[in-house]
Structure 1
Amino acid sequence: MAVFGTMPDGQEVVGVRIQAGGFSACILTYGARLQSLNLVGVGHSLVIGAPTLEPYLGPMAYYGAMVGRFANRIGNAGFSIDGTTYQTTPNFLDRHTLHGGSLGLHGHIWDIVDRSDQHVTMTIDLTDGDEGFPGHMHIETRYEIEAPSSLRITTTATTDRATLCSIANHAFFRLGDGDIRQQMLTINAAHYLPVDDELIPTGDVASVGGTAFDFRQPRRIGGHRYDHNFCLRDGRGPLRPAAVLKAPDADIALHVSTTEPGLQFYDGENTQFAVDEAGRSLPAFAGLALEAQAWPDAPNRPNFPDAILRPGEVYRSETLFEIRRSMP
């Protein structure tokens, strides 16, 4: 554990390294953020992460962070629960709410409550009315390295008032050095959510069949733009496989399993504003995000899986990122 940087208000940001065998990760208290993920034999981090704090206070605000209390977008920055309407911070296009608002989970320093060589647990409390959301929430996220090369992220949350809850990790994976559009992707989803020009779901649940969104069999990502939710199932359930990513210039593959009903695939068009672990500028499409979460704009779409957490309930989300050596 070591000081990673200092916030403008003087608070220290700490980095915690966890490892098992030849697999390791560094987690920052700022945003409970996955800053690096390293495997012996691979010459770079498998996630995009900056070597200093400053980029995370600017264009890399979401990189590797836990995002929420409602990950992804809420159309028109508003929703209703049990007949009461709430207005949240419009931090996306000045109209919609993205990743919990301007100062969502990504923008807070979390507390370390438990750690060992292989795991670290961090917590945070959000106040009632924070970014316009109801309810005081207590959130706990545990990162654990499992031999030979898996990272398990488990998040739990409770609330004292009915509120929205969908908490996701926003890592950008970078298996090789090439353009991610040349990589092979599989997503176990027969449906996806079409979006409008402002990336808000239209409300339709569309079949992937015969479209550029059909990744049910491994195929090259290609040049179509992707920032869409893939519908894994109708609600949270047991951990099960969601996606596989393979880079042609690497002998490893990423396998993603999750309890969550949705997987947001973002193609990393804007990674040219990010840097790697050595501080070097990256090109566009240098990494991609596979964010396991509730379906975006769920509170405004009655046909989407429910994303409300109520008093007395415990939200529990688990996602497993496993790196496997791929066959030649």
Structure 2
Amino acid sequence: MIFGVTRRGERAERHVLSAGRLSAAVLTYGAIVQSLEVDGTNVVLGCETLADYETRSRYFGAVVGRYGNRVAGGRFTLDGREHTLPLNNGPNSLHGGTDGFDRRVWEVADLSPASITLRLVSPDGDQGYPGTLTAAVTYTLAGDALRVDYHAVTDAPTVVNLTNHSYFNLAGKGDVLGHVLTMPAHRYLPVDADLIPTGELAPVAGTDFDFTGPEVIGARRGGAYDHCYVLDGEGPIRVAEPESGRVMEVTTTEPGVQLYTGAMLDPEATPYGPYAGFCLETQHYPDSPNRPEFPSTVLRPGEEFTSTTTYAFPA
């Protein structure tokens, strides 16, 4: 169905997927997961109108790119050539720049009752990134899970870091400070004042960042987190909401995950207030294009970028 028309005059569609206990509404605008219902309860934050997504969203449910997370100084060097990106997060470029993938209308490449594939072509020089990138994301409902598959190819060397920016609230209301998080990560990336990694992969043991055992999100730091964790590759990330008993388990092929607890959500500027939802953005590390010691995010012609993340809701 038609969801609305963008300020650029593009038509955005809304498609509803359903399978078993789950249903999801997906928009072609931003490849957004507008809603994800588990046994009838919506567990993600979203906007009701396209106008709100264009003016009041903080990446709610969107695929962010070409490079998700921050690039320091809005610049990086690849094969000896410096590339300059828009600054939209203080001195940094965030989530692909001022006109990232979250603000584009994607094309429906495939559709079935429980799955949708969306495709986007990002031209050479788009937001300062080199190479024409053809990206695709597939959302599939299967059993008790939403599976997200990413794919991208390029015609020139570039950098890619795609992720979904859904904010989850397993109660479907209130804040998420009482949610209980277990993170299979013994290291995290400390950041400077501009939230750029220092380069250290620091142990979480003995710090407020230790979620290797079940911990209430709001128990430390006032619940404020916007940090990347280095996943151990053992077991899922697990979040439990005590009152509803609802549980979400996240598995991914990515080396890291950004935990963001929505501390900066502003009820005057968005439909939600602080801590209304938490994000688990599975991805490569922030600022990797400027950090050769981090896992590479470079994609070259003839290569394929692939990534899979699954959000499961066991009964």
**CA offsets 1:40-86 (integer angstroms, 9 cap, x no match):** 253xx110011111221123141100001110000001111111111
Under a length normalisation based on structure 1, what TM-score does the superposition of the two structures give? 0.91
Under a length normalisation based on structure 2, what TM-score does the superposition of the two structures give? 0.95
Cα distance change on mapping 1:195 and 1:134 into 2, 3 Å: same
User: Where has structure 1 moved over 4 Å in runs of 4 or more?
Assistant: none
User: Is 2:182 the counterpart of 1:186?
Assistant: yes
Measured in 2, the distance between the counterparts of 1:150 and 1:143 equals 10
* AA in 1 matched with 2:93: T
> Of residues 98, 109, 122 in structure 1, which corresponds to 2:94?
98
Measured in 2, the distance between the counterparts of 1:80 and 1:145 equals 39
Q: Is the 8 Å Cα contact of residues 240 and 258 (structure 1) preserved in structure 2?
A: no
| Equivalent residue number for residue 236 of structure 1 | none
| Equivalent residue number for residue 104 of structure 2 | 108
User: Is 2:29 the counterpart of 1:13?
Assistant: no
Q: Which 5+ residue runs of structure 1 have no aligned equivalent?
A: 234-238
| Equivalent residue number for residue 32 of structure 1 | 31
User: Is 2:46 the counterpart of 1:49?
Assistant: yes
User: Is 2:311 the counterpart of 1:321?
Assistant: yes
User: Is 2:161 the counterpart of 1:175?
Assistant: no
Q: SS at 1:54's partner residue?
A: helix
User: Is 2:156 the counterpart of 1:130?
Assistant: no
* Deviation at residue 124 of structure 1 after TM alignment: 0.4
* AA in 2 matched with 1:75: A
Cα distance change on mapping 1:111 and 1:208 into 2, 3 Å: same
Cα distance change on mapping 1:64 and 1:41 into 2, 3 Å: closer
* Deviation at residue 89 of structure 1 after TM alignment: 1.1
Q: SS at 1:299's partner residue?
A: helix
**CA offsets 1:198-245 (integer angstroms, 9 cap, x no match):** 111111111111001111111111241210000115xxxxx8644111
| Equivalent residue number for residue 160 of structure 2 | 165
Cα distance change on mapping 1:88 and 1:99 into 2, 3 Å: same
Q: Is the 8 Å Cα contact of residues 48 and 275 (structure 1) preserved in structure 2?
A: no
Cα distance change on mapping 1:282 and 1:87 into 2, 3 Å: closer
Compute the RMSD of aligned alpha carbons: 1.6
| Equivalent residue number for residue 151 of structure 2 | 156
Measured in 2, the distance between the counterparts of 1:26 and 1:67 equals 18
Q: Which 5+ residue runs of structure 2 have no aligned equivalent?
A: none
Matched-pair identity in %: 38
| Equivalent residue number for residue 282 of structure 1 | 272
| Equivalent residue number for residue 281 of structure 2 | 291
Measured in 1, the distance between the counterparts of 2:155 and 2:97 equals 20
| Equivalent residue number for residue 258 of structure 1 | 252
* AA in 2 matched with 1:114: D
Q: SS at 1:113's partner residue?
A: strand
